[in-house]
Amino acid sequence: MSNHHTDRQLAGYHHDPRFGRLLFASLGVHLAIVLLFSGVLLPRFQRDLRPVYHVDLVNLPVKSPQAGRPDARPEPAKAPAKPAPPEPVKASPPEPPKPKAKPEAVKVAKPEPAKPAAVKPKKPEAAQVKASEKPSAAEEKALQEKLQGMQARQQIDDMKRRLDEMAKSDTRHASVPGAPAGMLDGKGTEAGSSYDAWLHEYLKRAWTLSRYQVSRRDLKATVKLAFDAQGNLLDYNFIKKSGEERFDDSVRKAILQLKKLPNPPGSRMEKEIVFNLKDLLE
């Protein structure tokens, strides 16, 4: 009985359609595993490889730089309000009289050269009028050139528009959204860098020293610089030398390049500059 039962069971097993499905499912699963490990089914993550530029950004120095930290006082909110006044100033009538004054001055000073200058712009206008009256082949060409020029302008406008769109679609964000651009220690209202930050960058650029010129990395020299209001270097002296001639010489050469600062400090200025090699590349 039991044997008969077993035979039936086996027969049923062999004829059971579920066996075929199971077999098929098993094959499918194995195939999926093989494909998964071979990497065919894995989604290919493409990294957004944007070009990376190393840029030393040095803003022009301002008298009262604003803070760049989000925890700074809400003064930056006022900052946009302050630059606003210049707009009404620009919109106010003092500007229009300026161009008027200039041509007058030119006419008085050099009446003869002023005439051809005044005639020249008139010529194309006359040509335009003539072209509208008598559309000759040469003038048609001129018109076509103008049209081409307009098309070029349109293309430039299109490109500008695209650039604006690209800028808007840029997914990069500041680590702190809405954080104002400014200095770490800034307490003022102006966007820009502090004079010390600008001077730091300017001096750094003037300083040349190869790592193969010095045998040690613990070198340090302190120099006192004095500038007048126009940015002329009045005096410099080493408060402390490094003791290594090459290093001190490189510092001296950097200072000698600062005979006149391109951004004058506005008043007499004395600074102590510390030169060291803490961040020199190995």
- Minimum distance, C-beta of residue 278 to other proteins, in the bound complex (Å): 4
C-alpha 102/C-alpha 9 separation (Å) is 112
- Distance of CA 226 to CAs 111, 132, 188, 273, Å? 49, 68, 25, 11
Question: What is the contact mask toward other proteins in residues 184 to 203, using x (rule: CB under 8 A)?
Answer: ------------x--xx--x
What 3-state class would DSSP assign to 128?
helix
Output 67 or 203, the one with its CB closest to other proteins.
203
C-alpha 136/C-alpha 130 separation (Å) is 9
Length of the chain, in residues:
282
- Nearest Cα to Cα of residue 238 among 196, 273, 269: 273
Is position 276 an interface residue for other proteins (rule: CB under 8 A)?
A: yes
Q: Within 10 A of 246 (CB to CB), how many other CB atoms are there?
A: 14
Is position 206 an interface residue for other proteins (rule: CB under 8 A)?
A: yes
- Nearest Cα to Cα of residue 75 among 174, 175, 186, 177: 186
Interface of this chain with other proteins, residues 99 to 128, rule: CB under 8 A: none
Is position 54 an interface residue for other proteins (rule: CB under 8 A)?
A: no
Binder among 46, 210, 237, 267 for other proteins (CB under 8 A): 210
Binder among 78, 160, 224, 268 for other proteins (CB under 8 A): 224
For 264, the enclosing helix (H) or strand (E) is none
Strand partners, 237: 224
Binder among 146, 204, 216, 260 for other proteins (CB under 8 A): 204
Output 141 or 217, the one with its CB closest to other proteins.
217
Is position 95 an interface residue for other proteins (rule: CB under 8 A)?
A: no
Is position 241 an interface residue for other proteins (rule: CB under 8 A)?
A: no
Interface of this chain with other proteins, residues 245 to 274, rule: CB under 8 A: 245-246, 250, 253-254, 256-257, 270-274
- Minimum distance, C-beta of residue 74 to other proteins, in the bound complex (Å): 27
- Minimum distance, C-beta of residue 270 to other proteins, in the bound complex (Å): 6
Is position 212 an interface residue for other proteins (rule: CB under 8 A)?
A: yes
- Nearest Cα to Cα of residue 203 among 219, 227, 186: 227
Half-sphere exposure of 8 (CA within 13 A, CB side): 5
Which residues bind to other proteins, rule: CB under 8 A?
A: 196, 199-200, 203-213, 222, 224, 245-246, 250, 253-254, 256-257, 270-282
